[in-house]
């Protein structure tokens, strides 16, 4: 790609807010509470890569891949070409979602659900889930699959499930920095999802990622309203206003409004 070229997020309205899309080969942060649309936005990003003939990789930590398949089944999305590293506790493995669809057809849903619960029993031996273990696994797998788009969903869960979590914030920042730098060296554009930090807390991923997309979900009147805001985006002016969005079978639809937004964040 030429200098300054952008890649689409797969969400037309978000691309418009970003001034044309993301800069390739850089890491970006997507924050929001549960149910705000973090995973769906990330899947759209990967599916856009598939549409363009790019190899893509999902590192699934929040939910096992078979549950992700179930969650998007009502949308009719075809995830079969997305490669996934199942990094849920006890299931650190590298698979294709298409393989899981085939396996699921040979087992009833209840048996698969029971298996998922068993893997989360505290006393059962599991693989270590940590930033370092995922980093080492990615180093091996990126040699086999040079993914152009990578989603890590989510960094919050890695912290929660880590069996040897270190209270050393500098060590944590170094591990995150090493992972993101490695992915950038591999020319992968990366989305890192996370739940919102505590008030007045600045997390390592906020410092290290080149931009942040903030999703919100709240009750207004008798319904739920979801909003999206590009709070930071290094290297380009961008729309910093908060915009409503909806979710349907085609994914996220951001209401950008007409005429063009008047609030543009200055270059960093």
Whole-angstrom CA distances from 73 to 50, 79, 130, 249 are 18, 10, 30, 10
Instruction: Give the H/E segment covering residue 56.
Output: strand 56-60
pTM (predicted TM-score): 0.81
User: For residues 39, 44, 49 and 53, what is the CA-based torsion angle, rounded to 10 degrees?
Assistant: 120
DSSP assignment, residue 211? E
Q: Compute the distance between CA of residue 268 and CA of residue 266 in angstroms, rounded to an integer.
A: 6
Which segments within 185-259 are labelled E, that is strand? Answer: 189-194, 211-220, 223-233, 238-239, 242-248, 251-254
| Per-residue pLDDT in tens (0 to 9) along the chain, 268 residues | 555 799 999 999 999 999 999 999 999 999 999 889 999 999 999 999 999 999 999 998 888 888 888 888 888 898 989 998 887 765 444 455 554 433 333 222 222 233 334 333 333 334 567 788 888 889 988 888 899 999 999 898 887 766 455 557 788 888 899 999 999 999 999 999 999 988 888 888 999 999 999 999 988 777 889 999 999 999 999 999 999 999 999 999 999 874 444 444 444 4
Q: Compute the distance between CA of residue 106 and CA of residue 128 in angstroms, rounded to an integer.
A: 29
Question: Would you state the CATH architecture of domain 23-219?
Answer: 3-Layer(aba) Sandwich (3.40)
């Amino acid at each position: 790609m030429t200098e300054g070229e952008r890649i689409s997020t797969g969400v037309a309205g978000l691309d418009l807010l970003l001034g044309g899309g993301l800069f390739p080969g850089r890491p970006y942060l997507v924050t929001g509470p549960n149910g705000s649309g973090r995973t769906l936005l990330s899947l759209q990003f990967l599916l856009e890569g598939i549409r363009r003939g790019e190899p893509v990789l999902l590192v699934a930590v929040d939910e096992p891949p078979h549950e992700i398949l179930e969650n998007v089944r009502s949308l009719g999305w075809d995830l079969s070409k997305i490669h996934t590293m199942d990094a849920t506790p006890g299931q650190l493995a590298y698979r294709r979602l298409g393989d899981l669809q085939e396996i699921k057809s040979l087992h009833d849903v209840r048996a698969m659900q029971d298996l998922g619960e068993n893997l989360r029993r505290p006393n059962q031996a599991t693989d270590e889930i940590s930033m370092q273990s995922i980093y080492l696994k990615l180093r091996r797998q990126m040699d086999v699959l040079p993914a152009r788009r990578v989603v890590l969903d989510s960094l919050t869960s890695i912290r929660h499930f880590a069996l040897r979590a270190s209270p050393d914030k500098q060590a944590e920042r170094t591990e995150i920095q090493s992972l993101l730098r490695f992915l950038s060296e591999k020319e992968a554009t990366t989305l890192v999802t996370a739940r919102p930090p505590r008030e007045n807390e600045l997390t390592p991923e906020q410092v290290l990622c080149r931009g942040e997309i903030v999703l919100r979900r709240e009750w207004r009147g008798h319904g739920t309203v979801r909003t999206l805001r590009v709070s930071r985006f290094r290297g380009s002016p961008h729309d910093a206003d908060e915009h409503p969005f909806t979710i349907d079978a085609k994914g996220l639809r951001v209401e950008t409004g007409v005429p063009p937004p008047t609030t543009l964040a200055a270059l960093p």
